[in-house]
Amino acid sequence: MEQQLPPEIMKKAVKGISYIAHPLRLRLLEYMDVNGASSVSTLTKAVEEEQMIVSQSLKKLRDANLVKTERKGIFIYYNIYEEYPASIFECIRKLFAYMTDSFFYLTEKALLPKDYTTMVANRIKLFANYDKMRILEYLTLYGESNVSDIINGIGSEQMKVSQYLKRLKDDGFVTARRDGRFIYYDITQGVHKTAIQCIHKRYDNLKNKAEF
């Protein structure tokens, strides 16, 4: 059975995914994933936003090591810094394809509808937290579990786990059912489960795990 990610790897994953949990940043990264290195002016036109706002978002992405820059003459070009954001987009496109029967996205890199990427960014924002992602990871790997199993599995405090399970349930990321005196939780389908699976896939495929 697949194992949970080491804590330091999950912390890196949470940090990366929290930076893309923003509609504009997600769209900028998506455009670079599809079209490659792009100038600020090109990105500004693509996302239909003010150049100053785009530049600020690009700076945050660069500070987070999610994009890199290269100067060509008087222009600076931005591109995705590492494979991690690209792998997230591959998973998001697959999810969209299966949700909408738009199977074109299974084989082709193409920009997703703006309202969908906005929804994805806002959904990611709700679970981009270390403890929440640990809970979602546990349920993804081991299936329906009660609170005690989850607490023991992720090594966290009961109060904290119970609070986060309630929030995850309220946001539609998990379901709950009572069986006697126990409540069992299970993960639902969606971008949250897709993100966990994608993070694991990338980690498993790395020969040098330190490169995550």
Gap between the terminal Cα atoms of the chain:
21
Of 48, 43, 72, 71, nearest to 58 by C-alpha is: 43
User: Any bridge partners for residue 176, and if so which?
Assistant: 185
Residue pair 174/185 in contact (Cβ under 8 Å)? The answer is: yes
Task: Write down the pLDDT at residue 211.
Answer: 77
Model confidence over 62-113: pLDDT tens digits? 988 889 999 999 999 999 987 666 778 888 898 899 989 999 999 999 999 9
Q: pLDDT averaged over the chain?
A: 93
Q: Pinpoint the alpha helices (H) of the chain.
A: 7-19, 23-35, 40-47, 51-63, 83-100, 104-107, 114-127, 130-142, 147-154, 158-170, 191-205
Contacts of 33 (CB under 8 A, 6+ apart): 80, 85, 86, 89, 109
83-89 CB contacts, 8 Å cutoff, 24+ apart: 83/202, 84/16, 84/202, 84/212, 85/16, 85/20, 85/29, 85/33, 86/33, 87/198, 87/201, 87/202, 88/17, 88/20, 88/195, 88/198, 89/29, 89/30, 89/33
Task: Kindly report, residue by residue over 135-176, the tens digit of the pLDDT.
Answer: 999 999 999 999 999 999 999 999 999 999 999 999 999 999
pLDDT one-digit tens code per residue, 112-145: 999 999 999 999 999 999 999 999 999 999 999 9
